[in-house]
Amino acid sequence: MLSRSFASALALLAFSSVASAQVTTPCQPMERDCPPDPAFGIENHLFNFNKTPDSTVWFPKNGKVTYTPEQGAVFTINKQGESPTIETNFYFFFGRTEVWLKAASGTGIISSIVWLSDCLDEVDWEFMGGNVTHAETNYFGKARPDYLNAIYHPVDAGVQDDFHNYTTVWTQDRMDFYIDGNLVRVLLPKDANNTRNYPQTPMKLSLGIWAGGDPTLAPGTREWAGGDTDFTKGPFTMYVKSAMVSDFSSGKEYIYTDRSASWESIKVVAYVFHN
Ligand SMILES: *[C@@H]1O[C@H](CO)[C@@H](O)[C@H](O)[C@H]1NC(C)=O
Ligand SMILES: *[C@@H]1O[C@H](CO)[C@@H](O)[C@H](O)[C@H]1NC(C)=O
Ligand SMILES: *[C@@H]1O[C@H](CO)[C@@H](O)[C@H](O)[C@H]1NC(C)=O
């Protein structure tokens, strides 16, 4: 059920151990009417990956993720073509994520924290396996190619040594990126092609690892990833201990009311409690 809210999914789980898989239809709201986006609708929800998370909330893609008490979620590339990822079935419309992540090693291997909306607004944290000293942040408005948006931030202790706190706080006025409590980047709408490319539509969170250095990919991608991946040097593993998600619009679902995909066009449907 697409329109089931996050809050009611949680309530449902409390009564039932059977979690039904949700099917989502990819739909571009700038081209056609799309089903409503089910909302998280609550703030500060902590997902601790010391055990398998609720499958009504987290959808696994492109391979298997395992969950361990010590290291949290384990995302491993054992061979070429693998890219295990988990993605939320729910959306936040302005909000905050706090992800505790230990990046994978390996030239060309990308550990990632990605926000993506139906119209392809995107916000990324990316960690190149060949670079232990820097984390990258990036964003896209409606998937418009812009290669000047990425910024590389030094991480004192290194990104692969331990878990670090990568937090992003997003409102209609600004987006703040923090590493271990330090503000490293502020993105203002006016600086994103005069708001045109400012991410402003309901987002899903996904966590995953992939090989940007896969020799079958375009040379530009492999170069950005830090070079070609030698899969004989694997396995390559990223760990995520926890993710905290806040949805700043408390609602049941979000609806694109026209083709503009501007934040003003998104309708927040209120949650109605049934007694
Ligand atoms: C890591 O990335 C930073 C920023 O792009 C760069 O200055 C540094 O040389 C890179 N290190 C390696 C080992 O590639
Ligand atoms: C992670 O960083 C954010 C942003 O600075 C901060 O608000 C939060 O308290 C930090 N989390 C922990 C557990 O320290
Ligand atoms: C910025 O917006 C203008 C239109 O307002 C467009 O022509 C240009 O291609 C945009 N640039 C990027 C990088 O999206």
104: pLDDT strictly greater than 90: yes
Question: With bands split at pLDDT 50, 70 and 90, how would you rate the model's confidence at 82?
Answer: very high
Question: With bands split at pLDDT 50, 70 and 90, how would you rate the model's confidence at 273?
Answer: low
Q: What is the pLDDT of residue 17?
A: 29
> Mean pLDDT of all residues in the chain?
90
Residue whose tokens read 């089903």:
35
Q: What is the pLDDT of residue 274?
A: 65
User: In percent, how much of the chain has pLDDT > 90?
Assistant: 85
19: pLDDT strictly greater than 60: no
Nearest Cα residue to 45 out of 79, 4, 77, 92? 92
CA 133 – ligand 1 centroid, Å: 7
**The token pair that represents 260 in the structure block:** 């503009």
Question: With bands split at pLDDT 50, 70 and 90, how would you rate the model's confidence at 146?
Answer: confident
Q: What is the pLDDT of residue 26?
A: 75
Question: With bands split at pLDDT 50, 70 and 90, how would you rate the model's confidence at 22?
Answer: very low
Is 136 designated active site? no
Cα–Cα distance, 221 to 32 (Å, whole number): 31
- 214-231: per-residue pLDDT in tens? 999 999 999 999 999 999
Q: What is the pLDDT of residue 84?
A: 97
1: pLDDT strictly greater than 50: no
Q: Which residues on adjacent β-strands are paired with residue 151? A: 137
pTM of the shown model: 0.91
- 109-138: per-residue pLDDT in tens? 999 999 999 999 999 999 999 999 999 999
Is 70 designated active site? no
- 23-60: per-residue pLDDT in tens? 233 799 999 999 999 999 999 999 999 999 999 999 99
The pairing of beta strand 266-269 with beta strand 45-48: unpaired
- 236-272: per-residue pLDDT in tens? 999 999 999 999 998 899 999 999 999 999 999 987 7
Residues near ligand 1 (Cβ within 6 A): 130-131, 133-134, 152
Cα–Cα distance, 65 to 235 (Å, whole number): 14
Protein residue whose Cα sits closest to atom 3 of ligand 1: 134
Protein residue whose Cα sits closest to atom 11 of ligand 3: 193
CA atoms within 13 A on the CB side of 125: 31
Question: With bands split at pLDDT 50, 70 and 90, how would you rate the model's confidence at 144?
Answer: confident
CA 266 – ligand 3 centroid, Å: 22
Q: Are the CB atoms for 78 and 234 separated by under 8 Å?
A: yes
The number of the ligand 3 atom at minimal distance from the alpha carbon of 146 is 13
